[in-house]
Structure 1
Amino acid sequence: MALRSVLLGVGSYLPKRVLTNAELAKQVDTSDEWIVERTGIRQRHIAADDEKTSDLACQASLAALEQAGREAKDIDLVILATATPDLTFPATAARVQAAIGAGPGIAFDLQAVCSGFVFALATADNFLARGQAKRALVIGAETFSRIMDWEDRGTCVLFGDGAGAVVLEAQEDAGDRGIVSTFLRTDGRMHDLLYVDGGPSETGTVGKVRMVGNAVFRQAVEHISGAMLEACARAGVSLDAVDWFVPHQANQRILDGVARKLGIDVDKVVATVAIHGNTSAASVPLALDVAVRDGRIKTGDLVLMEALGGGLTWGAALVRL
């Protein structure tokens, strides 16, 4: 019998500091009305000066392990999706592995920006389905506040910090539970639409986020819609069969645009962008955790997660919880 990657638990962590639109309006030429109208965002969380990406990731991981009923020593694969690692190297995943008491096992970072969690989920599924690992911790964690240009109102109003994680386990008798299908794509020709203008090889600096907002919006609606349809097609299910949609929380207008394009009932879309902002690779697991813990998403539900990020990268993952 084929192995299935079953999602056993989910967890998240948000820094204590909340940055509201009203506070941002004191720092940059903007207003609460301007931000809400264009993005739907009302607040975002900002990591404390002594909080690293690994700290956020550890908290989310421990919460996911507790819900899954597993211990850190049970984990033999850690994949951490992030564009804001603690250090250039070693991998932040290795720090998390050591800090929570997992391993020795496989641990590495994955960089696909806002699509990172979906890419990491697909990668972990390939390890588990081939029997190369038994239990995986898949994490999305970001401290995007460290790479923001706080004078650029086109970007600084969008992003926040946070982390989300899930525990996956390879099972032979899972029935129809587990990761059903995934679809991933990258098109490097659109690199300049969303990028950071720094890096150790090119500039020797960390750099700041730069984005061509209107172009990214158009690409997001088109490619996220396509990825969702492809993931369903690969699984042989219709979009109507999906119980819940958990998209990357980039912008409420993108969420609404995709729903309109595909004729999706907005009540089936989990939206946390208003309170979290865009937390890049952390946004999908953060939203998933909210909906699982408030009782909307239940065991047996068919959930479609999707995202688009810098690269450009995009993808979707269909999971039966």
Structure 2
Amino acid sequence: MLPTEERAAASAVARPGRRSRRDWLWGYGLIAPMALGLAVFYLWPIVQTLYLSFTESGMFGGQTWVGLDNFAGLFGDEEMLGALRNTLLYSVLVLIGVPLSIVVAALLNVPGLRGLGVYRTLYFLPVVTMPAAVGLTWRYLYNGDFGLINYLLGQAGIDGPYWVSDPEFAIYAVAVVGIWSSLGYNAVLFLAGLQGIPKHYYEAAAIDGAGRLRQFFRITLPLLTPTTFFVVVITLINALQVFDLVYLMIDTKSPALAGSRTIVYFFYEQGFVQNSRGYAAAIAVVLLALILVLTAIQFRLQKRWVHYE
């Protein structure tokens, strides 16, 4: 038999007391607003979208259950397949900005660099600038007749193309803006990762005779892989959802739209222009599935190329 005090202590551990239950209630009460917001603004819209993807909207409202017809139509829709190709191409192009961000972060991390705060602010400005301002400004810069880019090319004797009106160049022009827009944010993340690397690694490498370039490839890049993994995942997810740049930079009547239409832009056309809400919901579900699959693949590959300390 256990002594009375030991039995009381064991009972208190096995059965939460009044104070413990009160703590649980406080905890649930504190997370309730966030959980309610997630349920209302995220989970419920997802459920609604899934339901709508199996229906067809009438001209005067209401839905008719059509099963998998919307999805069958999507995979036979040339515009949808073209939008998928454009989105994947844009995503691959934007990922080029990740190594550029590493280089920028490494340059901003140089000890004793004068004007470091100014450089960081300049690189981060595109992140806090409204997307509408970014898209319209770059549309002016890309203008084939009086844009600044073609003016500078003309000064060098080069006849610049119509960047956002030519189907061959439109998606690449938009991708350049996407890289420029995300460069500052990614560089700040990499800068935080660089500053978290212990200095004694570099001191030991310098004693062994390793130069700055060798230190960068042998120390910096391997220890930055967790940050790189995070940046790649976030960049890819954002790239798959690109809409505002295409909407603001490409004219709806331009032939370049066919070569730069993305999945989200196609969703906008079907849902808000054509008022085909069931078909648009199916597009959203396909996009969600694509993001989940690509993210799962990246997490699957995480153990092979991400090295933690």
Q: TM (normalized to structure 1)?
A: 0.23
The structure that is strand-richer by fraction is: 1
The structure with the larger Rg is 2
Give TM-score, length-normalised by structure 2.
0.24
Tell me which protein shows more helix as a share of its residues. Answer: 2
